[in-house]
Amino acid sequence: MQVNKPENFNENVIKALSQPNLKKVIRRTTDKAESKRAEAVASFPEFEKARLQGQKVKDHTIKHMGHYLAEFEKNAIAQGTIVHWASTAEEASKIVLDICRQHQAKTVTRSKSMLGEEIGLTHAFDNSEIERIETDLAEHIIQLAGDPPSHIVWPAMHRSREDVVKLFREFHKDPTQSEEIVDLVASARRDLRAKFLNSDIGISGSNFLLADSGSSCTVTNEGNAELTITPPKVHIVTAGIEKLVPSMAHAVPLLRLLTRSATGADITQYITFHNGPKRPNDADGPEECHIVLVDNGRTKMLANGMKEMLRCIRCGACMNHCVVYKHIGGHAYGSVYPGPMGSVLTPHLNSLEVANKQTHACTMNGRCEEVCPVNIPLPSLLRSLRAQSWEQKYEPLTNRFFVNVFAQVAKRPRLFQFASACSLIAMKIFSRNGWIRFMPMASGWTRNRDLIAPDTNTFMQQYNAQQKAKKLTTKP
């Protein structure tokens, strides 16, 4: 699959809308996610309290980021973990590859991590001599298909069961002839089991980093993170610095919010806190542990008035509930993170110049903010990125021209009233039976819908005429 670029957003959208089955496969997942989340929230009366608490935990940690990072580093080192710092994506993926090369790794297993995608780890491995094995079922599917992820929780949601059947038959050693989900899962399990056991290095992401213990937490449904981490001799965690929370007690409310907001489940099958390398009496576990703490634009977001975005716990609820995402899917955004949260993140991870169109692909309907488990004001962050983009003059000249003319006219009410009256005259020319099917300058509207054509004067004209008539009749 050809990878979309964020700067080609408009072309990506056209491509997405022309795919006949895309909307159907997206909706199969997002509709279910939406209704399951609604059920989960309805049966969790403390939800509003929990999200306020979650927001406070995140805000507190972000405010004291330096303090908690130092504490985390100290405690992680005390556990025997080697801590690395990376300020950019390139630095982070180089650190990971260097560790793998020092250990002469031939294969690495990886459990799903959006940060890994963000720092370009998948490409870095694919361009190296080291074989990358994705162990999350959905990541396994898109690795076979050669696709980038299209959702942060269900990266293969753009693929149908039929696609999966084809892929498994082509790539699995001992493929199933069945098309039943349970048999397909078994086929993936057979294929992956030996790879888990023979991997040289396991790489995971992290859902939470606990400052007071130096632990990292993974939340999965398949147990693949545990199998990725335990058998190999070396474990590498890659994590964004915003994953930090002060302690396990602080992670728990966020965990409750995360699983309910992501899949509607009260809890996932596996939640594991990883505490450095194997200790003398441990039965198993890695002999060496590394954690790579990644900034990659996060401190820039703090400085850029986007600190609320660092609350994000990557549940995907904003995209599941986004009317735009639901119609165009994740690939159209051309970035690792799609949907509302992606449209705020990408300008910081990449650049606003490249990713400003996404900030406009939003109706400002507020649904994402309504469902966000940590109250991120996504629409107003998007709006503020639009303001920055306006300042930097990234918008197409025609857009700027029309908005400028509009504002210049609208700030002069009498001129605005005159222009409104003129526009009605123009509309009358194109109107048939009270509707306009096509009108130049309004083709953005009339391409897809009719425009109501009033056969009256403006409200102000009528109102003023009425007032005048009243005055005349009341005069003695």
Residues that bind other proteins (CB under 8 A): 13-14, 17, 23, 323-324, 327-328, 360-367, 369-370, 380, 383, 385-391, 395, 399, 403-404, 406-414, 416-417, 420, 423-424, 433-435, 437, 442, 444-445, 447-452, 454-460, 462-464
The pair phi, psi for residue 292, each rounded to 5°, is -105, 115
Helix axes 137-145, 161-171, angle to 10 degrees: 70
Could you give the CA distance from residue 102 to residue 97 in angstroms, rounded to a whole number? 9
**Three-state DSSP state, 433:** coil
Q: Which is nearer to other proteins, 42 or 182 (CB)?
A: 42
Q: Which residue number, 146 or 413, has a Cβ lying nearer to other proteins? A: 413
Q: Which is nearer to other proteins, 173 or 411 (CB)?
A: 411
CB nearer other proteins, residue 1 or residue 422: 422
Measured CA distances, 198 to 98, 113, 394 (Å): 20, 21, 50
**Identity of the residue, 78 or 452, whose beta carbon is nearer to other proteins in the bound complex:** 452
In the complex, least distance from residue 110 CB atom to other proteins, rounded to whole angstroms: 34
Rounded least distance, CB 270 to other proteins, Å: 34
Q: DSSP string spanning 53-91? A: HHHHHHHHHHHTHHHHHHHHHHHHHHTTEEEEEESSHHH
Rounded CA-CA distance 396/327 in Å is 24
* Torsion (CA) 32, 33, 38, 44 in degrees, nearest 10: 130
Identity of the residue, 189 or 437, whose beta carbon is nearer to other proteins in the bound complex: 437
Size of the chain in residues: 476
Instruction: Report helix, strand or coil for 378.
Output: helix
Find out whether 215 and 274 touch, Cβ atoms under 8 Å.
yes
Taking a C-beta distance cutoff of 8 angstroms, is the pair 196, 202 a contact? no
Q: How far is the CB of 302 from other proteins (least distance, A)?
A: 18
Is residue 232 a contact partner of residue 203, using CB atoms and an 8 Å limit? no
Distance of closest approach, residue 357 Cβ to other proteins, in angstroms: 9
CB nearer other proteins, residue 34 or residue 191: 34
Q: How far is it, in rounded angstroms, from Cα 312 to Cα 366?
A: 16
Residue keyed to tokens 């990506």: 12
Q: Convert 195-243 into a string of H (helix), E (strand) and C (coil).
A: HHHHCCEEEECCCEEECCCCEEEEEECCCHHHHHHCCCCEEEEEEEHHH
Instruction: Decide whether 283 or 425 has the Cβ nearer to other proteins.
Output: 425
Residue 314 near residue 240 (C-beta atoms within 8 A) = no
Q: How far is the CB of 40 from other proteins (least distance, A)?
A: 19
Beta 208-210 vs 244-245: how paired, if at all?
Answer: parallel
Cβ 39 to other proteins shortest distance, Å: 17
Q: Which amino acid, residue 315?
A: C
Backbone phi, psi, residue 34, to 5°: -65, -45
User: Among residues 32 and 172, whose Cβ is nearest to other proteins?
Assistant: 32
Comparing CB distances to other proteins, the nearer of 109 and 358 is: 358
* Shortest distance (Å) from residue 37 CB to other proteins: 15
> Which amino acid appears at position 343 of this protein?
S
Rounded to a whole number of angstroms, the minimum distance from the CB of residue 462 to other proteins is 6
- What's the closest the beta carbon of residue 300 comes to other proteins, in angstroms? 19
Minimum Å gap between C-beta 140 and other proteins is 31
Task: Closer to other proteins by CB, 186 or 410: give it.
Answer: 410
Give the shortest CB-407-to-other proteins separation in angstroms.
Answer: 3
Phi, psi of 86, rounded to the nearest 5 degrees: -130, 125
